[in-house]
Structure 1
Amino acid sequence: MLDDFFTRAIIAGIGLAITAGPLGCFIVWRRMAYFGDTMAHSALLGIALAFLLEINLTIGVFIIAVFVSLALMALQRRGGLSADALLGILSHSTLALGLVIIAFMSWVRVDLMSFLFGDILAVSKTDIASIWIGGAAVLGTLAWLWRPLLASTVSDEIAQAEGMSPERTRVIFMLLMALVIAIAMKLVGVLLITSLMIIPAATARRLAVTPEQMAVIASILGALAVAGGLFGSLKFDTPSGPSIVVAALVLFLVSMIAYGGRGQTERQAS
């Protein structure tokens, strides 16, 4: 029989994978991997803010992730620097600021390793409820936005011509990313969050024919990576968060070997 903590970890991890899969598809289609990394790195600043203001960690991470998203959009409108340069500045600055602020708070004992790489085996029943309820909210919003998101992914001009608002859609999508990153932080850590969103989606792209199929397959592959990583962690006594990402990588490499060509969904949604 599996221990309770291991069962909770699997339930929580699968809930996160189901949520992250469809969101990761849009990250892959929109070529926003570096943006996802930037938001994930900013989570450490959110953790520092939460400790400083004595608020819930998830709320602190969500606030900072939203702030970084809006700051990026404002800086892009002003021009002067390319998007990747702005992302580099925001990514490393927020990560460094978070570390410095935490270092100044000598009265707080912080396990940085658990925040950087996650501790999914320590999730509680409350965490599981937060993951599944938050995940349901994210997936519901994503289903509502599915058509506008696909249209604006292909072309902002097409979306506008069809009476949609690409700017509003982009803002809501960033808010969804911020929420998933805030939820996922405790499970796989600041440095591995984006990997769990991107790798299953990239794998699914080789297996799916339509965007909808890709979203479903990405969720399934993410759940398999969670289960495989956790059982591998249990067997080989390795860190759980990195083990999940390694399991996702193995699935990706297998898909590359089995399906050498690029998936049809890339041609349809990119």
Structure 2
Amino acid sequence: MIFDAFFLRTALAGLGVAIAAAPLGCFVVWRRMAYFGDATAHAAILGVALSLGFGINIFVGVLAVSLAMAATVSTLSGRGHAMDTLLGVLAHSAIAFGLVAANFLTGVRIDLMAYLFGDINAVSWDDLWVIWGGALAVLALIGWRWNALLTSTLNTDLATASGIDPKREQLVLTLALAVVVAVAIKVVGALLIAAMLIIPAAAARPFASTPERMALVAMGVGAVSALGGLLLAFRFDTSTGATMVCLAAVLFALASLTRGRRLR
């Protein structure tokens, strides 16, 4: 009975992250924002260190730092640096500052490996409420702004002509991405969050005839990766977050092979 409750808790945590990350990951893929997602996720380590140092809730701290990172990228972009260079500098600087800040924490025990690669086994019922609350908030936000987000993604000029502000929609995506990072850090860790955003969406692409279908298929791939990875991790005693990403990568490879055969 204890094991059943434990497995239910971890399975629900993985599903919560998967269904929140999948539709958002589609926009990350369409807009070619993979580096942006990486930079935001890496900033989570600095958020964890600051949260523990100031004694605030980790979800709040990670969310605040992730939003600050996204705002910094938006502010500095187009000011003399290529976007990929800027994101590379900020992503690695954020995780380095986070690791250094963690070394200055006294009287606080911090398992950096758990925050870097995730520790879904340590997710509590309170964490589960936060994960699902954040996941549902992200789904509601994306569902509410779906048409505007899609139009601004396809053509910014068309969006402007339709009365849609592309910068506002970029801010919506930024907020959603920060929430996903904050809820996912305990499940897959800062280094693997971007993978759960991008890989299910990329795997869904060959099977999608419409954007809506791609988002739904991506959610299915993410769910299979989360639950299948959890079962495989228990079976082979491997890192749960990493196993989820490995399974997602295998599904992407199979999807790519299927697409190649269709094209031939």
Measure the CA separation in 2 of the matches of 1:233 and 1:262: 33
Runs of 4+ with deviation above 2 angstroms = none
Question: Could you say which residue in structure 1 is the equivalent of 2:210?
Answer: 210
CA deviation profile, 1:156-179 (whole Å, cap 9, x unmatched): 111101110100110111011000
Measure the CA separation in 2 of the matches of 1:239 and 1:89: 28
Measure the CA separation in 2 of the matches of 1:241 and 1:115: 11
Distance apart, 1:238 and its partner CA: 0.6
Residue 62 of structure 1 aligns to a residue in which SS? Answer: helix
Q: How many residues align?
A: 262
Distance apart, 1:85 and its partner CA: 1.1
2:181 matches 1:181: yes
Question: Could you say which residue in structure 1 is the equivalent of 2:90?
Answer: 90
Distance apart, 1:194 and its partner CA: 0.8
Question: Could you say which residue in structure 2 is the equivalent of 1:163?
Answer: 163
Measure the CA separation in 2 of the matches of 1:41 and 1:16: 17
2:37 matches 1:31: no
Distance apart, 1:134 and its partner CA: 1.4
Measure the CA separation in 2 of the matches of 1:209 and 1:259: 13
2:43 matches 1:42: yes
Distance apart, 1:262 and its partner CA: 9.2
Unaligned runs of 5+ in 1: 264-270
Distance apart, 1:106 and its partner CA: 3.3
Measure the CA separation in 1 of the matches of 2:122 and 2:106: 24
Is contact 1:206–1:262 with CA below 8 Å preserved after alignment? no
CA deviation profile, 1:76-124 (whole Å, cap 9, x unmatched): 15x1111111101110111110011111223322111101010111211
Question: Could you say which residue in structure 2 is the equivalent of 1:3?
Answer: 4
Residue 259 of structure 1 aligns to a residue in which SS? Answer: helix
Unaligned runs of 5+ in 2: none
Measure the CA separation in 1 of the matches of 2:261 and 2:89: 35
Question: Could you say which residue in structure 2 is the equivalent of 1:131?
Answer: 131
AA aligned to 1:4 is A
Query: Structure 1 vs Structure 2: percent identity of aligned residues?
Result: 47
- TM-score for both structures, normalised by structure 2: 0.96
Is contact 1:5–1:123 with CA below 8 Å preserved after alignment? no
Query: What's the C-alpha RMSD, in Å, of the aligned pairs?
Result: 1.4
Is contact 1:205–1:262 with CA below 8 Å preserved after alignment? no
Measure the CA separation in 1 of the matches of 2:102 and 2:12: 31
Question: Could you say which residue in structure 2 is the equivalent of 1:199?
Answer: 199
Measure the CA separation in 1 of the matches of 2:221 and 2:250: 11
